[in-house]
Amino acid sequence: MSWAHILFWSALVVLVYTYAGYPLWLALRARLAPRPPQRREGYRPRVAILVVVHNEAARIAAKIDSCLAQDYPADRLRVLVVSDGSTDRTADVVAGYADRRVSWLPCAQRRGKAACLNDGVAACDDEVIVFTDARQRLSADAVSRLVAVLSDPAYGAVSGELVFVKDEASAFGEGVDAYWRYEKFIRRHEALVGSVVGVTGALYALRRECFRPIPSHTILDDVAIPMQVVMQGRRVGFEPGAIAFDRPAQDVSQERSRKVRTLAGNFQLLQLFPALMLPWRNPLFGALMSHKLLRLAAPWAMLACLLANAALVASGSLFFQGIWVLHFGLYVLGLLGAVPGLADRVKLVRIAHAFLVLNWFAVLALREFLVNRQAHLWKVNTISAGPGSTS
């Protein structure tokens, strides 16, 4: 067997396992031996909803209203808005609330979300902290559903679900939504067999006692915080009934800024928390590799597979010539998504285009990690940049 054969089949195995094998293995385990949370009735801890903001004067009132409208005992719920160096009228809007359950924690200097989360949690003595972003509207029962999972003492954190409102979604937005539905399938089954690797940054809950401060320049707080919960021996659940409503990215540029930042955060995660790579320390080592890290390797596996296939075609193999036609055709299909209007009409083109673009972002993420030391400072977007976004 030549080097081209070894490279082709090795790369193909990595890709098939990453995008199909791991999800199917999770689904099988979840069917054969599910471990759902054991909910207890009457569990009503004190809850603080923590919202970190930077210049959110236009949206913070709607967010606070959504939080105060929760179907949860009013005397056991409060909202803490933490400012990350806001320079607009956000403070005035928050101060305008007569409800004593709404409070404001200012910080004149912009430091990033992670630093503000550390300060915000330190200012809370509530039993449960619910983290959410300023942009998304919450379902009325979101807090109640998250708390219900935490009524099982085995759980230290639980993720809500991000649901995209798809009115007038672009073709690329539809492709991103398809990817996010696939991602939620994985998270749902991870939760049934053990714990999810990362939570939805738009909405998740944590036992206050399980919080450990994270480095102030952390990009992925929604992975770093739950992974520390897992390393304490607690589970991290997923509650699809606790919903944060958002809009998908409508074009490549919006998704690019979100996805590149997120994937760069995965590289950074290994730098900040090297113990995650030790199987005897990290109970989710296999899931972390399968769900997060192999996706960083996927674009390089795609390149290796393509080059090896080209070499095997040159050797005269009829089998690999047929594989090349299929292989090259899939790339052409994805590239056709850049043709105006075509992706709107052909679903397969739409999905293939989104797949290629999202893998290209993984390549850009490596450069982002290496050169951008300010990636933890997010930008305010009027429309969502995608799932799990922290701004």
Q: What is the pLDDT of residues 18-49, one digit of tens each?
A: 999 999 999 999 999 999 999 999 999 999 99
Q: What is the pLDDT at residue 172?
A: 61
Query: Residues 221, 201: contact at Cβ < 8 Å?
Result: yes
pLDDT at 175 over 80: no
Of 178 and 138, the one with more pLDDT: 138
Rounded to an integer, the average pLDDT of 316-322 is 90
Q: Which domains does the chain have, with CATH numbers?
A: 47-252 (3.90.550.10)
pLDDT-derived band at 196, boundaries 50, 70, 90: very high
- The reported pLDDT for the residue numbered 156 is 98
pLDDT band at 388 (very low <50, low <70, confident <90, very high): very low
Q: What is the pLDDT of residues 244-301, one digit of tens each?
A: 998 766 566 767 777 888 899 999 999 999 999 999 999 999 999 999 999 999 999 9
Highest-confidence segment of 174-178, 319-323, 332-336: 319-323
Percent of the chain at pLDDT above 70?
A: 90
Distances (CA, A) of 120 to 39, 52, 198: 28, 8, 20
Question: Taking residues 5-11, what's their average pLDDT?
Answer: 95
User: Left if phi > 0, otherwise alpha if psi is -120 to 50, otherwise beta: which for 88?
Assistant: beta
Element (H, E) at 175: helix 171-193
